[in-house]
């Protein structure tokens, strides 16, 4: 692994090997307005005060928030925008930044979701392969959200529609293509999630998904931590929480200290 990528990976993961990514980029992909991400710089401040190791944001807000991002926080450039009002394909990936541009803007790595289910699956696979090549060239960390294609639907709906087998395929394919870190959805089942982590052979993070009850969310974090996840990539379940800073701290404490959801929930009180 190139020294540049090693150094950047050491910012993405803390000294305990945990990665807590706050995703403040949902207005790049959704026509829904999320109040918690209206002020991205403020949302970043709250999440990093709570213990987030990384922020995953657009190139525009990397520039706007640069002076307020603490030196030890890794910056990830979220690459795609979606044509959310399109009547043809509202979740079509439109890459908005190059790897070189992300590096110039101060990013440690880039993040993109993939859709290996649609008619554009071949293009998505080629995109991942090309981005791996470019990230390796510049020593940048490459994180892929190998998640359910319709990630704004509930996890239960997606599990019924696609099944855990799709996540197994998507995560392993990303690993085969040379991705550094994978973020994926919870399968709803501990044993199947353990299989995904084992099959991927690279660090696996849990995606936040749709906003759910706080205790329910922390319970999921407890389960995936026990299954072997190395952290999380979470947006709205942090930014839309009543206290984003405490929620980030609760999530991070589960991963770092292996506490239960009940103990973590007390942090929110």
Who wins on pLDDT, 176 or 147? 176
What percentage of the chain has pLDDT greater than the value 70? Answer: 99
Q: What is the pLDDT of residue 128?
A: 97
Q: Which residues fall within 8 angstroms of residue 1, CB to CB, at 6 or more apart? A: 9
Partners of 233 in the β-ladder: 21, 207
Stated pTM of the model: 0.95
Element housing 141 (H / E):
strand 141-145
Question: How many of the other CB atoms lie within 10 Å of CB of 67?
Answer: 7
Q: What is the pLDDT of residue 151?
A: 67
What percentage of the chain has pLDDT greater than the value 90? Answer: 84
For 153, the 3-state DSSP assignment is coil
**Direct distance between the N- and C-terminal alpha carbons of the chain, in angstroms, rounded to an integer:** 43
Query: What is the rounded distance in angstroms from the CA atom of residue 146 to the CA atom of residue 205?
Result: 10
For 3-268, CATH gives 3.20.20.70
Q: Where are the alpha helices (DSSP H) in the chain?
A: 3-12, 40-49, 59-65, 99-104, 121-138, 155-177, 190-200, 214-227, 236-239, 244-257, 261-268
The string of pLDDT tens digits covering residues 90-140 is 878 889 999 999 999 999 999 999 989 888 899 999 999 999 999 999 999
Mean per-residue pLDDT over the chain, rounded:
94
Buried residues in 227-258 as b, exposed as e (16+ CB within 10 A): bebbbbbbbbbbbbbebbbbbbbbbbbbbbee
- Cα radius of gyration rounded to whole Å, the chain: 17
Q: What φ, ψ does residue 118 adopt, rounded to 5°?
A: -85, 180
Query: What is the rounded distance in angstroms from the CA atom of residue 254 to the CA atom of residue 185?
Result: 18
Domain limits, the chain: 3-268
The string of pLDDT tens digits covering residues 213-229 is 999 999 999 999 999 99
Closest CA to 234 of 151, 157, 159: 151
């Amino acid at each position: 692994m190139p020294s540049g990528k090693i150094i950047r990976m050491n910012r993405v993961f803390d000294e305990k090997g945990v990665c807590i990514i706050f995703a403040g980029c949902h207005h790049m992909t959704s026509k829904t307005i999320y109040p918690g991400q209206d002020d991205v710089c403020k949302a970043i401040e709250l999440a990093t005060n709570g213990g987030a190791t990384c922020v995953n944001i657009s190139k525009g807000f990397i520039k706007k928030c640069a002076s307020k991002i603490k030196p030890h926080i890794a910056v990830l450039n979220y690459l795609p925008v979606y044509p959310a009002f399109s009547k043809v394909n509202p979740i079509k990936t439109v890459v908005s930044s190059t790897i070189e541009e992300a590096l110039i803007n101060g990013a440690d790595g880039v993040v993109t979701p993939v859709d290996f289910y649609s008619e554009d699956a071949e293009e998505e696979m080629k995109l991942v392969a090309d981005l791996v090549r470019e990230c390796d060239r510049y020593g940048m960390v490459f994180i892929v959200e190998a998640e359910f294609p319709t990630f704004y639907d509930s996890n239960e709906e997606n599990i019924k529609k696609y099944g855990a087998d799709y996540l197994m395929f998507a995560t392993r394919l990303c690993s085969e293509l040379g991705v550094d870190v994978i973020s994926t959805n919870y399968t709803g089942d501990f044993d199947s999630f353990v299989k995904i982590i084992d099959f991927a052979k690279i660090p696996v993070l849990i995606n936040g998904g749709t906003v759910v009850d706080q205790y329910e969310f922390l319970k999921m974090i407890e389960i995936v931590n026990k299954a072997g996840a190395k952290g999380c990539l979470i947006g709205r379940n942090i930014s839309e929480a009543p206290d984003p800073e405490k929620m980030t701290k609760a999530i991070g404490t589960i991963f770092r200290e292996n506490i239960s959801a009940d103990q973590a929930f007390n942090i929110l009180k």
